[in-house]
Amino acid sequence: MRFKADISDHTSVEATKKLVMFMSKLNKRRCIIHATPDEFVLLNDSSTTRSYWVEVKLNPLEMFCDYEMSGLTPGQNEIFMDLSAADLSQALSGVETSIKMRLTKEGNVPHLGVRSENVTNSIPVTLLMSRHWKEFERSVPEELLLISIFMPSIKSVQRIIQSIKNIQAKHTIFAVNFKGQLEISARTDTSRFCAQIRDLGIDRTPNSRDAPEEAIIRTVLDTKHLHTFVSSIPNTFSYIKLAFYS
């Protein structure tokens, strides 16, 4: 197996750093790098946290100035690397202008070499065998998708979730209708919090094409895990879409 990825554009360097820090905050122990010819993917390790699943996909043609990889076999042209999320984040923390990543071997132990400017970090990795790859396939069937709504700015969402956390509400309720209205609410024994946002863009699906505009779809989330997730999202994304599944 072979893996090589270089970044020399400052904007791409900063975006990569923020995304790696995002993954590190969510899962301080381990993260997974899934490399294919067409995608470079960061995954959280579902074996250490069952509360959420995070998948960050990067397009190598857009992000890397040089990207080469060869997987297990031509028919299984993929690489799954299990490594310390904190070590990867630390290796990129002081990077300014360039990043070079290489899959190497020290003795009999595979490592991910991360070179930035004149500093090289070598991070031990575990190369996952193909029989474990299906554990990291978490796509939800499209036929279960009901509606997607484009969220307001991430800073606005972060302030709302922080307010809910401050009142010590255990659960947060997201409710959306087909008019593009979103309600984020929470309740405790002594207080109730509710934020309403209107005129958001929505995407209907065949499952909800005939649903009236007033129909409401709700989901209930654990506030602690939601706060950890939302507060870690960097201002790197051009938009955030919230999808509701049946």
End residue of a domain, out of 115, 136, 157: 136
Range of the domain at 215: 142-245
Nearest residue to 159 via CA among 203, 189, 200, 197 = 197
The reply to whether 125 and 26 lie within a common domain is: yes
pLDDT one-digit tens code per residue, 33-64: 999 999 999 998 765 445 667 888 899 999 99
What is the predicted pLDDT for the residue at 209? Answer: 80
The reply to whether 163 and 95 lie within a common domain is: no
If one counts the domains in the chain, the total is 2
Per-residue pLDDT averaged across 134-147, rounded? 79
Q: Are 222 and 165 in contact (CB under 8 A)?
A: no
The reply to whether 44 and 107 lie within a common domain is: yes
What is the predicted pLDDT for the residue at 79? Answer: 96
Q: Give the 3-state secondary structure of residue 183.
A: strand
Candidate from 18-27, 131-140, 145-154, 182-191 with smallest mean pLDDT: 131-140
Q: Are 219 and 46 in contact (CB under 8 A)?
A: no
What is the predicted pLDDT for the residue at 134? Answer: 85
pLDDT one-digit tens code per residue, 192-237: 999 999 999 998 888 888 889 889 999 999 999 899 889 888 877 7
Percentage of the chain surpassing pLDDT 70? Answer: 96
Nearest residue to 82 via CA among 13, 138, 119, 133 = 133
Q: Name residues whose C-beta falls within 8 Å of residue 221's C-beta, 6 or more positions apart in sequence.
A: 171, 172, 173, 174
Report which of residues 232 and 80 the model is more confident about: 80
User: Residue 88's Cα: distance from chain center in Å?
Assistant: 15
Round to whole Å and give the CA distance between 58 and 11: 14
Does 140 have pLDDT greater than 80? no
The reply to whether 107 and 176 lie within a common domain is: no
Task: Give the model's confidence band at 136: pLDDT under 50 very low, under 70 low, under 90 confident, else very high.
Answer: confident
The reply to whether 132 and 147 lie within a common domain is: no
The reply to whether 167 and 114 lie within a common domain is: no
Round to whole Å and give the CA distance between 229 and 25: 8
The reply to whether 132 and 150 lie within a common domain is: no
Candidate from 112-126, 131-145, 176-190 with smallest mean pLDDT: 131-145
What is the predicted pLDDT for the residue at 50? Answer: 54
The reply to whether 130 and 153 lie within a common domain is: no
57-86 burial, b at 16+ Cβ within 10 Å, e below that, comes to ebebeebbeebebebeeeeeebbbbbbbbb
What proportions of the chain, in percent to the nearest 5, are helix, strand and coil? 25, 40, 35
Round to whole Å and give the CA distance between 122 and 186: 45
What is the predicted pLDDT for the residue at 238? Answer: 74
End residue of a domain, out of 103, 136, 169: 136
User: Looking at residue 237, which CATH number applies to its domain?
Assistant: 3.70.10.10
End residue of a domain, out of 95, 119, 136: 136
What is the predicted pLDDT for the residue at 171? Answer: 97
Round to whole Å and give the CA distance between 59 and 7: 12
The reply to whether 52 and 28 lie within a common domain is: yes
Taken in order 114, 120, 125, 127, the sign of the CA dihedral is positive
Q: Are 43 and 139 in contact (CB under 8 A)?
A: no
The reply to whether 94 and 152 lie within a common domain is: no
Round to whole Å and give the CA distance between 190 and 203: 36
> Which amino acid is residue 143, in one-letter code?
E
